[in-house]
Structure 1
């Protein structure tokens, strides 16, 4: 597969540009600045985005995206073909597949676009749908830098220092009402994530939270998705059973994605696993203290020096195993290798600097 020529975009400025990046939350958040960069480079371009139905609210927060196309995973062949037919009817002259899977390759090909571009991380045969791939976008490049290579190819080299997400005023006001009476600093605790192997124990998060609350006299904001309410409830219960006087609210499952973005923007620090909310917090310019067990903080973490990213030192680190390869006493040993004191000290370093 040939690489994209240096002068490609000068020779083929887009009129209608489609990004295909359906999931997951963290990856979509890291890719969203590209819509902003494209509008900066070509103010009159119309930008479309293919997104998983459950993440539609995320791309709606980008005022630089004009058209949104929902992908319903698991909805069957006819639903997928309907999407492909719709994409073909929209007359996109340039398509960028940022996902690089078989299904997104088929979406890319179905557009009939004259300029179909992908990344070097593409797999499952998706590269057959592309005319060219962007150089320096292999898996050796951190995800956030890999996406930004596209903007650099357009001539937009400077990374943004303000969020590429704009939260509606009504959501901002609601979130402010939740937090206005709480003593500062505001310490976010987000113990959930999708992989078992990335899920540092909730008991450890609770201990970190208690340590930070004691040292700062601040407030704890427990965060989680709608399917993580048991987890956030357990975290709150563990904290409250030891220190019933601590200022704390459990917002697990109670905030929409726009409200979560607003919440994260108001925190002084977010303590979390490698997760979508980690990237959303970073995009909202909130420093994170994040635990990395089976993933690599360099490859998968957010950019910037304001964050504290803590990784296990075990030989199996950064193996990206969804199921722990170790057995017996070594099973999920990475959870014990990263200590409560490490994480609490890292979070305090952030809190002490502000």
Structure 2
């Protein structure tokens, strides 16, 4: 039995397939699974069970119906796929799965819950409730195809951590200091921590000599800013442009805690079994995008009647002041960090983590 899984972008959404596909591959070792995604996503699947294969595709080379038919022909030239799981469900993947249906493959696609998400973010009369997570929505696709699973997953590295040799030339070898990661950026302003808050956070953390601070980000503007912040202390290091994705994943597995926005880095760190403190502005965990195995207790957000106003954080602030982000203080973030560091020192006090936050009844109004 050959199964094709389609999830072309974006980074966070592709990362969220990893726990589900790992479980699927282990529970059904007789299935030969091929994951179709962008080439840059390959490191996410490098540690998968041996019945999972990755195929990278540059979708810009396959434009229009004709281009997608050419991709379909290339995919089926050597392999016949009996089952197709469309975990993307956009126009491009809809056309592609139509070709597979005409070729007699069994096809199922994700229900993104657009109607209930719209009710969550509308300006008035919001329906504030936890929606199914992407993990659950992915599971439902495979259940429809006849492969029910209950996702169990710890880390892409299993019970171990990533290879130190992949990053030690840049960072040095992990020692008895608390290694802390900070990824303050996101794709949209509504999900990005204001610079003055980030700077204050880095300054306060770096004042402790028993800590090393690693700054994650990319792009010219982010790189310049991270380098500027890294210059504030000898125990701060900007990683922008210095590590590849597989090297970043290995490093993340050795962090005591990662501070992220609702972004791809939140999901990457979650895949390595590292506790994540996630900061939410225009978006909300209720939409179903909390990182794998992360606790709602570590989600920092402010209760405002306008929140959430966006699923992806790409809408202009209705108040014009981004109070959902500007009202979050560095002191509040540090309180969460200190609690996690105490837990790491005293494991007996560890709180339980839910593999799927959508299955917990949690009041997430104020943190």
TM-score category by the smaller chain? 0.7 to 0.9
SS in structure 2 of the partner of residue 272 of structure 1 = strand
After TM superposition, the structure 1 = structure 2 runs for residues 79-118 of structure 1, keeping only pairs within 5 Å, are 79-89=67-77, 90-111=79-100, 112-118=103-109
* SS in structure 2 of the partner of residue 32 of structure 1: helix
The residue aligned with 2:302 is 312
* Bigger mean CA offset, 263-272 vs 213-222: 213-222
Native 8 Å contact 1:313 1:337 kept in 2: no
Q: Say how many residue pairs are matched.
A: 317
Q: Look up the match of 1:240.
A: 231
Q: Are the equivalent residues in 1 in contact too, given 2:190–2:317 (CA < 8 A)?
A: no
SS at the partner of 2:231?
Answer: helix
Report if the CA contact (8 A) 2:298-2:336 is conserved: yes
Answer yes or no: is 1:339 the counterpart of 2:329: yes
8 A contact 2:309–2:315 mirrored in 1: no
The aligned counterpart of 1:176 is: 168
| Cα deviations by residue, 1:218-247 (Å, 9 ceiling, x for unpaired) | 00111113x2x5324323423534xx4x41
Aligned-partner Cα distance in 2 for 1:141–1:61: 27
Mapped partners of 1:92, 1:189: distance in 2: 42
Contact 2:69 2:96 in 1 (8 A): no
1:207 corresponding residue in structure 2: 200
TM-score of the pair, normalised by structure 2: 0.77
| Residues 316-342 of structure 1: per-residue CA shift (max 9 Å, x gap) | 222224032425xx3322221222221
Q: Deviations over 1:191-220 (max 9, x none)?
A: 221122111123312211222233463001
Q: Please, which of 111, 114, 117 is the counterpart of residue 120 of structure 1?
A: 111
The alignment's TM-score, normalised by the length of structure 1, stands at 0.80
Distance of aligned partners of 1:305 and 1:43 in 2 relative to their CA distance in 1, 3 Å threshold: closer
In 2 relative to 1, CA 113–175 (structure 1 residues): closer, same or farther, beyond 3 Å? farther
Report 1:1-354 matches (<5 A): 15-64=1-50, 66-75=52-61, 76-77=63-64, 79-89=67-77, 90-111=79-100, 112-121=103-112, 140-150=131-141, 154-157=147-150, 159-163=152-156, 172-177=164-169, 178-180=171-173, 184-215=177-208, 217-225=210-218, 227=219, 229-238=220-229, 240-241=231-232, 244=233, 246-298=234-286, 299-304=288-293, 306=295, 308-320=298-310, 321-326=313-318, 330-354=320-344
Question: Is the contact between residue 88 and residue 110 of structure 1 (CA under 8 Å) also seen in structure 2?
Answer: no
- Give yes or no for contact 1:202–1:235 (8 Å, CA) kept in 2: no
| 1:293-348 deviation digits (Å, cap 9, x = unpaired) | 11112321124355611123222222224032425xx3322221222221121122
Q: CA deviation at 1:271?
A: 1.0
Backbone CA RMSD of aligned residues: 2.8
Q: Give the Å deviation of 1:104.
A: 0.8
Q: Give distance in 2, aligned partners of 1:305 and 1:168.
A: 18
- Residue aligned with 2:35, SS: strand
Residue 231 of structure 1: SS of its match in structure 2? helix
* TM superposition shift of 1:164: 6.5
Q: 2:159 and 2:8 mapped to 1: Cα distance?
A: 20
Q: Could you list the per-position Cα deviations for residues 107-134 of structure 1 after superposition, in whole angstroms to 9, with x for gaps in the alignment?
A: 11222243101122277xxxxxxxxxxx
- Gaps of at least 5 residues in structure 2 are 115-129, 345-367
Check the 8 A contact 1:35/1:65 in 2, yes or no: no
